[in-house]
Amino acid sequence: MEDGTEIPFPTTLIKPNSSWVDGLTIDISKIPTVNGSVTMNSEFDINLTDTTRTLKGNGIPNHPVGIFPIEQGTEAYDIYSTLPAEGYANAAEIPIKPYNLDVTLPRYPTVNTESACIESLMLGVAIQTGAAWHVDYAVDASYQAVDPNAALPTDWAWGHPYETEYHYHGYSWKSFPDQGKEGEHSPLFGYALDGFGIYGPRSEGGVPVTNDDLDECHGHVHIIEWDDGQMIEMFHYHVNTEYPFTLGCFRGTPMKISSTEAGQVTENNNDTSGSVNVRAGLVFGVASMVAAFVFAFA
């Protein structure tokens, strides 16, 4: 540990004092939005071998993003500008920049006996848009754990930059262009870092998925359409409207992402009761990571 900082890892979320959080509910209609519709150059490709799937791009989504740095005089600015950000005056000053998104996943992943904790900010890639999903777990300036959706505005697509890397939170799936057909299982929205698919919010027969239908990693097993229309019985994740929205842990073995994940925290092992080492200076209000299992508001 470079700086000797070691604090107990909070496993229960606190409720931020946000105007859009009412009891245990996040009222998404009340969340301020980061203004703007900025088109940036997006690059994204998927390459297959018999056993692997490589996702490569510049991390910029193929849709317009909000204005970052955030405009002064907006509600979002007032919130972000109170948060520290390494290398910037405050978190409102962080721009979006391209980065090297490059990860090779197993094309036919298998389920492990034990699930693995999420140990990096990034947990998957949205293939419809080419941007990354981050875990919906963060610590505030006092290292208290929060749901970032309860603490910070994002742009219209539920995205924002962390250390200049654009990524999604919460209801980002609502901004994906292909939502599939009503009455059917949602289409594939992306891949988790263990190679399993992340599907939209509807299960078989078009029934909306609740957390009660899913395991602690936010997935389940049934026959799904995999590459080129083959129907196979396979574990897969679902996004939905309940925390943790995307993944709670990995059922397979997550692949490592390039070292640009500067805000990464490492957990000692897959034990959620232990402490984590938190690198000093990573605080950006909602910065950091490691969702182990499903969290709930205290």
Shortest reach from residue 50's CB to Zn ion, in Å = 25
| Omega of the bond leading into 148 within 30 degrees of 0 (cis) | no
CA distance 287 to 128: 25
The encoded tokens of residue 3 equal: 């700086």
Alpha-carbon distance of 126 to 17, in angstroms, equals 30
**CB-based contacts of 109, cutoff 8 Å, min separation 6:** 194, 195, 196, 235, 252, 253
| Dihedral sign of CA atoms 89, 93, 97, 101 in order | positive
Is 286 buried (19+), middle (13-18) or exposed (0-12) by CB count in 10 A? buried
Q: Please give the Cα distance from 137 to 250 (Å, whole number).
A: 15
CB 201, min distance to Zn ion, A? 10
Nearer to Zn ion, 166 or 269 (CB): 166
**Residue nearer to Zn ion on the CB measure, 54 or 81:** 81
Side-chain half-sphere of 228: how many Cα atoms within 13 Å? Answer: 3
Q: How far is the CB of 161 from Zn ion (least distance, A)?
A: 8
Residue placing its CB nearer to Zn ion in the complex, 210 or 275: 210
Which of 129/203 has CB closer to Zn ion? 203
User: Quick one: 55 or 131, whose CB is closer to Zn ion?
Assistant: 131
Positions that interact with Zn ion (CB under 5 A)? 134, 162, 203
Q: Per 3-state DSSP, what percentage of the chain is helix, strand, and coil (rounded to 5)?
A: 10, 25, 65
Structure tokens, 171 = 């209801």
Query: Phi then psi for 56, rounded to 5 degrees?
Result: -135, 140
Q: Of the two residues 10 and 104, which places its CB atom closer to Zn ion in the complex?
A: 10
Q: Name the minimum Å distance from CB 185 to Zn ion.
A: 6
Least Å distance between CB 297 and Zn ion?
A: 19
Report, in Å, the least distance between residue 214 CB and Zn ion: 9
Residue identified by tokens 């009412």 is 22
Report the residue number, 52 or 98, with the smaller CB distance to Zn ion.
98
CB of 47 to Zn ion, least distance (A): 26
